[in-house]
């Protein structure tokens, strides 16, 4: 967080290496490569609703990661404490942990156009636990409404 050159260089290097390892294992995004999209379905909805550039991509994805954690929490995969831990980490990095408020119908409209939608089924990258992602298919929009309720 102090932007010291050596630790920052190491962090960027390690992140790039992890991403390269995942891409090499799944070049066509049929499995674990999708995990790199954690927070993106919600984040892209924020960008579309607010106007591209109003929220930076990283800001929208950061808030989206917290929403993905909230969805995982709704599914009984992680705890509220895990979600709070993720939110606190993002806030410490100066990133937003909550999205802007807009109507649920707009969230659905934007998310239904995401590249991860398959045969009309929304797919989200969620968490089994912190550090372990999954691909979650959602057909019940009520769970999305509960996830997004504070932001409607």
Token representation of residue 13: 């290097």
Residues 6+ apart with CB under 8 A from 34: 26, 116, 123, 125, 135
Q: Are 35 and 25 in contact (CB under 8 A)?
A: no
Rounded to 10°, the helix 80-92/57-74 angle is 170
pLDDT above 90 covers a percentage of the chain that reads: 82
* Average pLDDT in the chain: 93
pLDDT of 120 > 90? The answer is no
Residues 6+ apart with CB under 8 A from 135: 34, 35, 123, 124, 125, 126
What phi and psi, each to the nearest 5 degrees, are found at residue 21?
A: -65, -45
Q: Thinking of the domain 35-151, which architecture would CATH place it in?
A: Up-down Bundle (1.20)
pLDDT of 96 > 90? The answer is yes
Q: Are 147 and 74 in contact (CB under 8 A)?
A: yes
> What are the residue ranges spanned by the domains of the chain?
35-151
pLDDT at 117: 80
pLDDT of 148 > 80? The answer is yes
Other C-beta atoms within 10 Å of 22: how many? Answer: 16
Per-residue pLDDT reduced to its tens digit, 31-73: 888 889 999 999 999 999 999 889 999 999 999 999 999 999 9
Look up the pTM and report it.
Answer: 0.90
Rounded to 10°, the helix 40-50/104-111 angle is 110
Three-point CA angle 49, 47, 41, nearest 5°: 100
């Amino acid at each position: 967080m102090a932007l010291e050159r050596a630790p920052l260089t190491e962090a960027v290097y390690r992140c790039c290496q992890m991403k390269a390892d995942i891409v090499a294992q799944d070049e066509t995004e049929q499995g674990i490569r999708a995990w790199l999209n954690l927070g993106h379905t919600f984040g892209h909805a924020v960008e579309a609703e607010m106007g591209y550039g109003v929220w930076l991509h990283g800001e929208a994805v950061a808030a989206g990661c917290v929403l993905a954690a909230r969805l995982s929490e709704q599914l009984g995969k992680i705890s509220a404490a895990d979600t709070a831990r993720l939110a606190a980490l993002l806030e410490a990095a100066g990133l937003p942990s909550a999205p802007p408020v807009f109507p649920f119908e707009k969230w659905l409209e934007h998310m239904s156009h995401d590249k991860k939608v398959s045969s009309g089924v929304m797919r989200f990258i969620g968490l089994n636990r912190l550090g372990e992602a999954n691909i979650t298919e959602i057909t019940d929009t009520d769970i999305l409404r509960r996830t997004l309720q504070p932001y409607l």
